[in-house]
Amino acid sequence: SSGDDKTADPGSTSSEGSSGGDAISVGFSQVGAESGWRAANTKSIQDTLTKDAGFDLKFSDAQQKQENQIQAIRSYIAQGVQYIAFSPVVETGWDAVLQEAKAANIPVILTDRAVDTADTSLYVTFIGSDFVEEGKRVGQWVSDNLGTEPINVVELQGTTGSAPAIDRKQGFEDATKDNANIKIIASQTGDFTRDGGKKVMEGFLQANPDIDVVYAHNDDMGLGAIEAIEAAGKKPGVDIKIVTIDGVKDGMTALADGKINYIVECNPLLGPDLAKIIKTLHDGGTVEPRIVTQDGAFDQEQAKAALPDRQY
Amino acid sequence: MTGLAQLTRHRLFWPIVALVVLLLASTLKSHSFLEVTVRDGHLYGAPIDILRRSSILLLVALGMTLVIATRGIDLSVGAVMAIAGAVTLTQIASSPDPGAVSTVAVAMLTGLAVCLVIGVFNGFLVAVLGIQPIIATLVIMTAGRGIAMLITGGQITTVTSAPYKTLASGFWLGLPVAALIAGVFFAVVALVTRRTALGVLIESVGINPTASRLAGVRARTIIWTVYVLCALFACIAGFLQSSNIMAADSNNAGLFIELDAILAVVIGGTSLAGGKFSLTGTLVGVLVITTLTLSITVIGIPVNAVSLFKALVVIVVCLLQSPVVQHKLRARRRQAAPVPVEVPA
Amino acid sequence: MMTEPNTTPIVEMTGISISFPGVKALDGVDFRLLPGEVHALMGENGAGKSTLIKALTGVYGIDSGRIVVGGVDQVFAGPAEAQAAGISTVYQEVNLTDNLSVAENVMLGHEIRRFGLIDWHATRKAARTYLKALNLDIDPKSSLSSHSLAVQQLVAISRAMVVDARVLILDEPTSSLDSDEVARLFDVIRTLRDQGVAILFVSHFLEQIYAISDRITVLRNGSLVGEYTPAELPRVELVGKMIGRALEVLTELEGRSERAVVDRSGTPFMQAIGVGRRGSIEPFDLDIYPGEIVGLAGLLGSGRTELARLLYGADHADSGETLVSGQAVKLRNPRSGLAKSIVFSSESRKTEGIIGDLTVRENIVLGLQAERGWMRRVPRKKADDVVAQYIEALGVRPANPDAIAGNLSGGNQQKVLLARWLATAPKLLILDEPTRGIDVGAKAEIQKLVADLAAQGMAVVFISAELEEVLRLSHRIAVLRDRHKVAELVNSDDVTTDVVVDLIASGGTSA
Amino acid sequence: MATDEMTVKARKQPEPKLTGAVHRSRPTLDRRYLPVLGTVVVLVLMLIIGGSRYDNFLSGRVMANLLINNSFLIVVAVGMTFVILTGGIDLSVGAVLALSTCISAWMFVHGWPAYVAIPAAILAGALIGWAVGVMVHVFEIQPFIATLAAMFLARGLCYVIAPESIPITDPTIVKLGTRWDLGGGWAITPSGVIALAVVVVAFVTLHYTRFGRTVYAIGGGEQSARLMGLPVARTKVLVYVISGTCAGLGGLLFAAFSSSGYSLTGVGMELDAIAAVVIGGTLLTGGSGFVLGSVLGVLVLGLIQTIITFEGTLSSWWTKIVIGALLLVFVILQRLLVVRRR
Ligand SMILES: Nc1ncnc2c1ncn2[C@@H]1O[C@H](COP(=O)(O)OP(=O)(O)OP(=O)(O)O)[C@@H](O)[C@H]1O
Ligand SMILES: Nc1ncnc2c1ncn2[C@@H]1O[C@H](COP(=O)(O)OP(=O)(O)OP(=O)(O)O)[C@@H](O)[C@H]1O
Ligand SMILES: [Mg+2]
Ligand SMILES: [Mg+2]
């Protein structure tokens, strides 16, 4: 609805001036740096879209604020970059600013998180994981491997109201709802942090004497839970099983050490894929509208095998 | 009866009632809640957990009390915690012998030194340049986490070091080391402020800075000092926090702890307008808040209602503490004539 | 003088009682105020005068009693309601907001509006008129905080005139004013009285009471002593009724005390050579010898306070040189003054003196403590002794070291402030309006104390709006005018107020 | 202590003499404007430096975006200014703003028309503000705590109303965010116009109504204001209502800006608003400051953000450090300007 076509020009005119040479100028707006996963994601992008690889990357960190992100995208449009990529803080509310990008003829690529819009022409493609699917895969594994007898599950949720927290909860519930053996007895938010995970787990341990499984929405909370379980004199991974999502290095190490039982990977290394997509677009090619990354899943044995080559 | 009336009139009566109610509610939900058992040669149980967990907030609130007494505020404490953890853990992680006591000691001293500099910086902005405390400390609040991430390279630095782990998870004489550390600092501050003239001079500067200056009080030095102390206490809280998870999480260490600390200070009866402060009050405030967080999990408040529950507790405690309600309650009890609202001349 | 007394009181208070924790401030007091009269409320410091006023205007709720205003039973919820009922009040401490301009302070709540919005031009003009009525020709746009306390007091009075009041209450309005301003204020009061306004007036200056009042009510220790006309109550008796016993205060006050001869042969304790500060006081020279009381005389705003602040180091001078006991010193802040055993008691006790929320004990010990630094706390025993000694010597009431200083009556706060400085055993005592708001009895005590201290070798700089007081005490008098030191004279029996006033008027040439 | 030095020195300003019949009115600038002036000077400096460093920085588009992207913050900061002028503080604005986005989004999803949903969202803000005002005034709870509780409350309500983010498609709201092109890259949105209107209304209220002057008087000294017979109670409650209403309105502007209602919106926005107000020269102790200063404060924060995106090479941590450093440079420069002029 915004469609101010008269200002559509700066995109093409000034890009020459600002980017210099043949480098492709890309504006990337990151959510923030709230977790180890995010740091790895940022690093991957910054390390791939380098000058040497023929890119002129403009990076900005929105510090978890949608307004900063919108502001950054608008500023990229004003600066006249050739491509915009971003990981949206929220799924909703991007129509207006994406319209502006479209009006300025700047292709937009979404990474990691999707946006909720009726008009799919606003972005070229989405590349990232499917949070619901991740939750489902964890749920499935728990159901298949542990749910053979009655078990009590406690859930460490991510930040209240955030998309990954909602979807991972949803996915897990979907996958386990048919298994009568699985009972989720408590669920509380640990804010995706180790400290939060540990605090909440301490509370769970006080209130419930018979916890069998901990489902943490990310590795960090799982690692926090390990600390709490150990402090309570129990053995994580044995007395209480732990399943998590992400697969960051510390998580994988704990998995290999037998303190975590299963991790569904959520690959942060989106840089190479992003670079490939932009190159393809730049050469006039087309890409799929939705590219879901190939995420692995590891149990303890697989972790031991994979650990030496992990980059993050 | 008059004894009881006297009691309910005490400033800390309602916060303590809140504490008791929270503990009772948790016990109703989980019957063994108040039980303390001996496990692996030390005490174990929710009350011990509360003590251990309170230590971090207590240290931060301790410094905050002093700052608030001078009419200031320190928003940078969370960031200082992050920096303390980052500096110390990066050093421990990069040392060849992370398990050695000497490594840990040197790393912690470095952390203290860095935080000292930050405290001096905050104090300089407030006391010398006369920048409003909230904005002066906002600088470090924003930049501090960046500095911490710079030190850790944006990663969460994880270490394994037994001596460092002892800080937060160890026990001494059956009691958590963290609680003992916080307790010692609390006692020292209480002693120093009340045994020397520091306490009264801080209050005097907080109540009337102009008059204090004219009375010859070194207002500037005192204000500077409290910011340094606040940063040092936050630093130690940062040690405990990072030791708790054995990792330096620059983004999340001490996030929003300044709000909890201020809340604790105010529940304890110290006014944000500066002046008279009560360390005991702060201690009670800290216990209320820590218990509140633990009981949210234990009682099983639904995730989406956690904020509402917190709001409810804070509002109820504050309302009951407020002069108007106190007065109403008293009048009801004694059926006496209204007591005048006190207005200073 | 007296206009035909209207016999139905406009304000009638009966059986008023108010208690504060530990103090019964008013105990069944009756009071009435007639239209068209100036009614003086008298009593010692802490007698309950201000409390009675605050009870009337609803600042304090009353425990028992009845208040009838204009024939109607009234309990005001606060000054706003009292004001709406036609009672306009100037409270004891200057209660204005010093972040706003003079005009705004005068007109706050009564700004002139056009089309619902404030018409600043008209408002300022109105403010100027009200200020003019008190002979105050200051820029209404100037910030209130840029004016001295005396001016602020006049502004507060102007503000009270804005309301079309039936009752005007003035609680110690003259405590910082010099005789010209007082005379001017009295003219205004008389005009209002003749228009039928009932005026309640509080002052510790007996001459003023006798000059203006039609009726006197005396309070003592929160109880009513009685209601009198000035004619039936000579001064001595009035003082007797206030203090509860006959006292030879008056004789002491009126008779000039024996002045010791000051030895001016040695080195002065303090020597100011060309000390000045741009924008506040022109460079001046001043020598102060041990045992000498130097009085500063001048009109309102002549720069006495400014001079005193430079001597202490409250402000630092931008020219000149200061010698203490013959040695050059730099006084850049109050601490440096204190370190040289110089102390300064400010005229504005509310903002620059008392630490309101601290106890009397803590307030008294503060100066001593500041001198010793934070590490070495004044031992409890010593603190108790010092505090007890000065509470006794100055007659602080209530004589309770643990009372919150901010709750004390104005005069008692002033005594606490004095005690703070005397307790440090200074060598130079700078007193800016130390007797402001202090009752006759205590004033005599303080004057005697100052004279005694000087006799024991303490140097004193004494500032007072009351010229007689300066003359009575000082050995030497420095005369200021327009922020200039214009003259200096040795006090003797020949020096009268007229001499000094002439000096001020002529700018020092007639001496 | 510098604050006391300030008051001490303020007393020392030479004044026209009482004795002299003639008025010597010196052409000095009113000291109260100094902090705001400091802000302006530093803002212009930042613009010049930004313009010389980056291409397109001083373009109409970037400048217009500065207003458009910050319209909601301007409104919130205006409300905050009222509260801070009385010596209070309002920590609830970020959460109330989020609540307003959630309420309106929820109502649109449930089929309510804009003329119901919009007033409801604003009213919710006003109601919370009123509750805070009552807590602060009647129950004498410290503003910091009362508003902190309100912040938990509003955030909690958000999670209950909108556990997930809700897209808003309502045409009225969408229209609020439509850019009106003014040529040369300059543009404005109805949101921006509303923000400016709020500023004007606030300015007039503060400087041309008795209510506004009472706000300042309370900030100068609540006790004195009461003794002066001013309606302290009503005014104090009202400033929180105003702040809540502004946060509610800000929520609508934010909803227009982001076309969604989301419970995690505006986390930490209260600090941005407070920072903007303080940078704009308002004293946190109350009694001194201007709404226009707050607007400048918002622009400064926005400009810092813009510089960061234009720089484009900062890692996440350098972003934080640079924001902190710019803030520091800013407050110190402003402070020095003010001190110099004394
Ligand atoms: N808010 C208060 N809390 C406690 N005590 C108070 C309060 N206000 C006044 N008092 C006490 O009430 C008594 C009467 O004080 P009041 O101020 O009325 O005296 P006053 O006659 O006006 O004296 P002064 O001449 O010194 O102004 C004093 O003992 C004072 O300490
Ligand atoms: N009536 C007045 N009109 C204008 N300015 C005044 C007036 N009185 C004082 N001032 C200003 O207030 C400032 C303070 O003066 P200062 O306090 O040194 O005077 P003072 O001699 O102590 O008089 P007092 O304390 O009786 O007012 C001076 O800069 C003076 O210019
Ligand atoms: Mg009095
Ligand atoms: Mg004076």
pLDDT digits (tens, 9 = 90+) for D283-316: 888 888 999 999 999 999 899 888 888 888 888 8
pLDDT for A115 equals 86
Check if C395 has its Cβ closer than 6 Å to any atom of ligand 1.
Answer: no
Whether residue B150 lies within 8 A of chain D, CB to CB, comes out as yes
Residue in chain C nearest D204 by alpha carbon: C117
CB C200 within 8 A of CB C210: no
- Decide if pLDDT at C366 tops 50: yes
- Closest Cα to atom 19, ligand 1: which residue? C46
Q: Is C22 left (phi over 0), alpha (psi -120 to 50) or beta?
A: left
CB C55 within 8 A of CB C232: no
Q: Which amino acid is at B165?
A: K
Instruction: Please name the member of D207, D210, D227 whose beta carbon is closest to the beta carbon of C95.
Output: D227
CB C239 within 8 A of CB C441: yes
Structural domain total, chain D: 1
CB A93 within 8 A of CB D165: yes
| CA of D147 vs chain A CAs: smallest distance (Å) | 21
Instruction: Please name the member of B145, B318, B323 whose beta carbon is closest to the beta carbon of D320.
Output: B145
Residue in chain B nearest A157 by alpha carbon: B303
Task: List C107's β-bridge partners, or say none.
Answer: none
Check if C150 has its Cβ closer than 6 Å to any atom of ligand 2.
Answer: yes
pLDDT for C511 equals 44
Q: Establish, for the pair of chains C and D, how many residue pairs have beta carbons separated by less than 8 Å.
A: 129
- Decide if pLDDT at C137 tops 60: yes
Q: pTM higher than 0.90 for the full model?
A: no
Whether residue A232 lies within 8 A of chain B, CB to CB, comes out as yes
What are the residue ranges spanned by the domains of chain C? 11-245, 254-506
Closest CA to D281 of D46, D31, D12: D31
Answer yes or no: same fold for C11-245 and C254-506.
yes
Check if C140 has its Cβ closer than 6 Å to any atom of ligand 2.
Answer: no
Proportion of chain A above pLDDT 90, given as a percent: 60
- 3-state SS of chain D? CHHHHHHHHHHCCCCCCCCCCCCCCCCCCCHHHHHHHHHHHHHHHHHHHHHHHCCCCCCHHHHHHHHHHCHHHHHHHHHHHHHHHCCCCCCCHHHHHHHHHHHHHHHHHCCCCHHHHHHHHHHHHHHHHHHHHHHHHCCCCCHHHHHHHHHHHHHHHHHHHCCCCEECCCHHHHHHCCCEEEECCEEECHHHHHHHHHHHHHHHHHHHCHHHHHHHHHHHCHHHHHHCCCCHHHHHHHHHHHHHHHHHHHHHHHHHHHCEECCCCCCCHHHHHHHHHHHCCCCCCCCCCCHHHHHHHHHHHHHHHHHHHHHCCCCHHHHHHHHHHHHHHHHHHHHHHHHHHC
**What's the rounded mean pLDDT across residues A66-77?**
90
Check if C181 has its Cβ closer than 6 Å to any atom of ligand 2.
Answer: no
CB C67 within 8 A of CB C73: yes
- Closest Cα to atom 22, ligand 1: which residue? C50
What's domain C11-245's superfamily in CATH? P-loop containing nucleotide triphosphate hydrolases (3.40.50.300)
What ipTM did this prediction achieve? 0.87
Check if C301 has its Cβ closer than 6 Å to any atom of ligand 2.
Answer: yes
pLDDT for D27 equals 44
Instruction: Please name the member of A34, A203, A223 whose beta carbon is closest to the beta carbon of B297.
Output: A203
| CA of C56 vs chain D CAs: smallest distance (Å) | 12
The pair phi, psi for residue A83, each rounded to 5°, is: -135, 150
Look at C178-187, C263-272, D236-245, D327-336 and tell me which has the smallest mean pLDDT. D327-336
Asked if residue D15 is part of any domain, the answer here is no
Residue in chain C nearest B204 by alpha carbon: C355
**CATH architecture label of B12-31+44-335:** Orthogonal Bundle (1.10)
Look at B288-297, C373-382, C500-509 and tell me which has the smallest mean pLDDT. C500-509
CB A35 within 8 A of CB A251: no
- Residues of A within 8 A of D265 (CB-CB) are 66
Residues D200-230 pLDDT 10s: 999 999 999 999 999 999 999 899 999 999 9
Ranges of chain B with pLDDT below 50: 1, 335-345
Residues C379-423 pLDDT 10s: 999 999 999 999 998 889 889 999 999 999 888 999 999 999 999
Q: Which residues are CB-neighbours of B17 under 8 A, at least 6 positions away?
A: B320
Which atom number of ligand 2 is nearest to the Cα of residue C176? 26
Instruction: Determine, for residues D12 and C109 on separate chains, whether the beta-carbon distance falls below 8 Å.
Output: no
pLDDT for C300 equals 82
- Residues of A within 8 A of B54 (CB-CB) are none
Query: What chains are in contact with C, requiring at least 3 Cβ pairs below 8 Å?
Result: B, D
What gap in Å lies between CA B168 and CA B162, rounded to an integer?
Answer: 11
| CA of A2 vs chain D CAs: smallest distance (Å) | 5
Q: Which amino acid is at A56?
A: D
Centroid of ligand 3 to alpha carbon of C370 (angstroms): 29
Instruction: Determine, for residues C97 and D213 on separate chains, whether the beta-carbon distance falls below 8 Å.
Output: no
pLDDT for D342 equals 43
Check if C205 has its Cβ closer than 6 Å to any atom of ligand 1.
Answer: no
Centroid of ligand 1 to alpha carbon of B16 (angstroms): 35
**What's the rounded mean pLDDT across residues C230-234?**
91
- Closest Cα to atom 7, ligand 2: which residue? C301
What are the residue ranges spanned by the domains of chain B? 12-31+44-335
pLDDT for B3 equals 63
Asked if residue D50 is part of any domain, the answer here is no
- Decide if pLDDT at D171 tops 70: yes
Closest CA to D270 of D190, D170, D134, D150: D150
Asked if residue D320 is part of any domain, the answer here is yes
Contact of chains B and C by CB distance (3 or more pairs under 8 angstroms): yes
Look at B322-326, C81-85, C393-397, C501-505 and tell me which has the smallest mean pLDDT. B322-326
Look at C167-176, C314-323, C493-502 and tell me which has the smallest mean pLDDT. C493-502
What gap in Å lies between CA B52 and CA B70, rounded to an integer?
Answer: 29
- Residues of A within 8 A of B46 (CB-CB) are 206
What gap in Å lies between CA D331 and CA C1, rounded to an integer?
Answer: 63
pLDDT for D179 equals 84
Query: What three-state secondary structure class fits A57?
Result: strand
| CA of A162 vs chain B CAs: smallest distance (Å) | 12
Strands B157-158 and B247-248: antiparallel
Computed over every residue of chain D, the mean pLDDT equals: 86
* Per-residue tokens: C243: 């203090």
Whether residue A223 lies within 8 A of chain B, CB to CB, comes out as yes
- Decide if pLDDT at C230 tops 70: yes
Residue in chain D nearest A94 by alpha carbon: D258
Check if C480 has its Cβ closer than 6 Å to any atom of ligand 1.
Answer: no
- Residues of B within 8 A of A203 (CB-CB) are 294-298
pLDDT for B205 equals 95
Residue in chain C nearest D10 by alpha carbon: C146
Task: List A30's β-bridge partners, or say none.
Answer: A61
| CA of C252 vs chain B CAs: smallest distance (Å) | 32
What gap in Å lies between CA D167 and CA D338, rounded to an integer?
Answer: 46
* Per-residue tokens: A225: 């839970």
Instruction: Determine, for residues A70 and D185 on separate chains, whether the beta-carbon distance falls below 8 Å.
Output: no
- Residues of B within 8 A of D8 (CB-CB) are 210
Instruction: Please name the member of B127, B139, B145 whose beta carbon is closest to the beta carbon of D327.
Output: B139
- Taking residue B2's Cβ as centre, other Cβ atoms within 10 Å add up to 8
What gap in Å lies between CA A289 and CA A83, rounded to an integer?
Answer: 16
Residue C56, judged by CB atoms within 10 A of its CB (0-12, 13-18, 19+), counts as buried
Residues D256-273 pLDDT 10s: 988 889 998 999 899 999
Domain of residue D304: give its range.
Answer: 34-40+59-341
Computed over every residue of chain A, the mean pLDDT equals: 88
- Closest Cα to atom 17, ligand 1: which residue? C409
What gap in Å lies between CA B3 and CA C235, rounded to an integer?
Answer: 51
A120-134, B68-82, C464-478: which is most confident: B68-82
3-state helix, strand, coil in chain A (%, to 5): 45, 20, 35
Instruction: Determine, for residues A93 and D168 on separate chains, whether the beta-carbon distance falls below 8 Å.
Output: yes
Instruction: Determine, for residues B149 and D320 on separate chains, whether the beta-carbon distance falls below 8 Å.
Output: yes
pLDDT for B159 equals 92
Residues B46-105 pLDDT 10s: 888 899 999 999 999 999 999 999 999 999 999 999 999 999 999 999 999 999 999 999
Residue in chain C nearest B194 by alpha carbon: C377
Residue A201, judged by CB atoms within 10 A of its CB (0-12, 13-18, 19+), counts as buried
Q: pLDDT-derived band of residue C262, with 50, 70 and 90 as boundaries?
A: confident
Q: Which of C18, C408, C415 is the pocket-test mutation for ligand 1 (most atoms within 8 Å of CB)?
A: C408
Task: List B57's β-bridge partners, or say none.
Answer: none
What gap in Å lies between CA B172 and CA B170, rounded to an integer?
Answer: 7
Asked if residue D18 is part of any domain, the answer here is no
Residues D29-85 pLDDT 10s: 567 788 888 889 888 988 999 999 988 888 888 899 899 999 999 999 999 999 999
pLDDT for C252 equals 54
CATH of domain C254-506: 3.40.50.300
Query: What three-state secondary structure class fits C64?
Result: strand
